[in-house]
Structure 1
């Protein structure tokens, strides 16, 4: 069941992936700060309206779980009706209007993190074949919660982009 407005706690797999801080490595690592819980429905809608410049837009289709240093957000995009939160794609919505589908679902996202990319890095690396920088702690989490799903991040991000090609057009259609 999709997380409701009243239930903002992370699924166990996501909480485990975020249990250790990300290594920014002076700009050469992962620029990502997970929140302690999903943003509230009100905070998400306020942000999405400001981000799109559209006072009528709703953030109901997102469960925002973290940000990068520039203020871009990572979120589940609730576009698969009737499907569990863990089956929804993960997206990055950058502070300057950048958009990117990072993973097809939570299991793929765990493996993107295990390969050493955060949401922004994955969105930027889409189609570039960015190199792997395995993260042992997050690999253990991915193996525990998504066994048999491991692939290089570049493959997972490319598949996500192929399956969900309309994110940018949808967002641009809402911008004012």
Structure 2
């Protein structure tokens, strides 16, 4: 899989949003974490020295240091079709969305990665700039946050268990 930061992700992260004002705990990156940084992180997060984290491309974090990443699990060269997952600093873990289009719609509804995992029933609130972006790039992905999160969990029900089994 190519490690080039997708244009759509760059554009999303360039949108000037006061995440704090919108109660979204998110810090966007301008590039993926390096392979070495990702390997170091997954070993520390799981306590498993045999892991290298190559199936994760980290592209953002929350204020406590929890990471948001593409999980490279589908057989596709289109990175935006890969699921997005969250690894919290306090052990929170889960699939955020089935793909990037759904992820963008979560943000358009004011739901960040941590919230999607820890508070999946959180009330949504539209963020105009992100809603406009979502409608332009991913109109066919428009759903409620609850539908997006439920769809992702149904598609990848074993993610949390798989990761927990890697922990030492």
Deviation of the 1:81 alpha carbon: 2.1
Q: Give me the whole-angstrom Cα distance separating, in 2, the residues matched to 1:3 and 1:106.
A: 16
Matched with 1:64 is: 58
Residues 22 and 121 of structure 1, relative CA distance in 2, 3 Å threshold:
farther
1:173 counterpart = 2:161: no
Contact 1:107–1:142 under 8 Å retained in 2: yes
Question: In structure 2, how many angstroms separate the alpha carbons of the residues matched to 1:157 and 1:102?
Answer: 6
Deviation at 1:58, TM superposition (A): 1.6
Q: Superposed, which structure 2 residues align to 1:1-176 within 5 Å? A: 2-4=1-3, 7=4, 10-19=5-14, 20-25=16-21, 29-126=23-120, 128=121, 130-176=122-168
Report the Cα offset of residue 158 of structure 1: 1.0
SS at match of 1:148: helix
TM-score (norm 2): 0.94
Distance 1:74 1:55, change over 3 A: same
Shift of 1:154: 1.4
Shift of 1:125: 2.3
SS state at 1:74 partner: strand
Instruction: Specify every segment of 5 or more residues in structure 1 that has no aligned partner in the other structure, as ranges.
Output: none
Residue 49 (structure 1) shift: 0.5
Task: Give SS of 2:96's match.
Answer: strand
Name the stretch that deviates more: 66-75 or 77-86.
Answer: 77-86
How far is 1:171 from its partner?
Answer: 0.7
Query: How many angstroms apart in 2 are the aligned matches of 1:83 and 1:151?
Result: 25
State how far apart, in whole Å, the 2-side matches of 1:175 and 1:98 are.
13
State the shift of 1:91 in Å. 0.6
User: Contact 1:38 / 1:63 at 8 angstroms: preserved in 2?
Assistant: yes
Shift of 1:141: 1.1
TM-score using structure 1 length: 0.90
